Amino acid sequence: MMTDILGKLNDEMAALLTKARPALVEIRGRNRSVGAGTIWHPSGMVVTNTHVLEGKNVEIALADGRNLPAELLASEPSLDLAVLAVEAEGLPVMELGNSRSLRTGDWVVALGNPFGMIGAATAGTLIGRTNGSIDGRRSPVSLLVLDLHLRPGYSGGALLDAQGRLVGINTMMQGPNVGVAVPVDEIKTFLRRAIKKLDR
């Protein structure tokens, strides 16, 4: 009975990741991988971390094999968030979840591209929330603290809940097997601010 339950859970999780992976991109600078990004909008909007970009001219490698030059639309270093644009239409996106509904102990999965392994996954649970620092800067928002290991290359990738919905963007490690992600609800607010500035 337990084997059947675990097998079903394993199959369901594998199906969720298969569905989500096409919306994960590789961010490259000077022909090498520097991190991950998450497609936010089918018309070519990609969310990632500012520390992934570090002033580089970057291109986006899509899951379908296309490599496209990316333009930086906006960034907010205090949140370690940036939004890029590529010239493409009909790109795959992930279903958005509600990060405010996440509870301590809830299962989460991080997607990224560590050490050249494209679309890798690591799983754990939500430890809680904190207003700690990102890369030495005090965060203005509450961050998700995760019991999982975000190896180099997970930055900018997607954090999924148990239903495969996007609930955050992976950011960095805060200690052994303790990762941090920016909640999806804060990303929505960041993007609204960014779009208003672009429309001026």
Write the pLDDT tens digit of every residue in 138-159: 667 789 999 998 888 999 999 9
The share of the chain scoring above pLDDT 70, in percent, equals 90
Q: One of 51, 78, 142, 149 is an active-site residue; which one? A: 51
Find all residues with CB under 8 Å of 83, minimum gap 6, and list them.
40, 45, 46, 47, 48, 72, 73, 74, 75, 190, 191, 194
Confidence band (pLDDT; 50, 70, 90) for 31? low
20-93 shares its CATH topology with 99-188? yes
**Whether pLDDT at 136 is above 60:** no
Q: Is 80 a catalytic residue?
A: yes
- What band does 121 get if pLDDT is binned at 50, 70 and 90? very high
Residue 51 bears catalytic tag:
yes
- Amino acid sitting at position 100: R
Q: pLDDT tens-digit profile of 37-93?
A: 999 999 999 999 999 987 678 899 999 999 999 999 999 988 899 999 999 999 999
Region 99-188: CATH code = 2.40.10.10
The reported pLDDT for the residue numbered 182 is 95
3-state secondary structure of 44: coil
149 is catalytic: no
Q: Which of 99, 139, 155, 161 is catalytic?
A: 155
| Nearest-angstrom CA–CA distance, 47 and 189 | 13
Q: What is the architecture, at CATH level 2, of domain 20-93?
A: Beta Barrel (2.40)
Provide the pLDDT confidence category of residue 131 given band limits of 50, 70 and 90. Answer: confident
Measured CA distances, 69 to 34, 130, 160, 167 (Å): 14, 35, 27, 27
pLDDT at 113: 93
Catalytic residue, chosen from 80, 99, 139, 161, is 80
The predicted pLDDT at position 93 comes to: 96
Q: What is the pTM for the complete model shown?
A: 0.90
pLDDT value at residue 200 = 47
| Nearest in space to 119 (alpha carbons), one of 172, 88, 79, 160 | 160
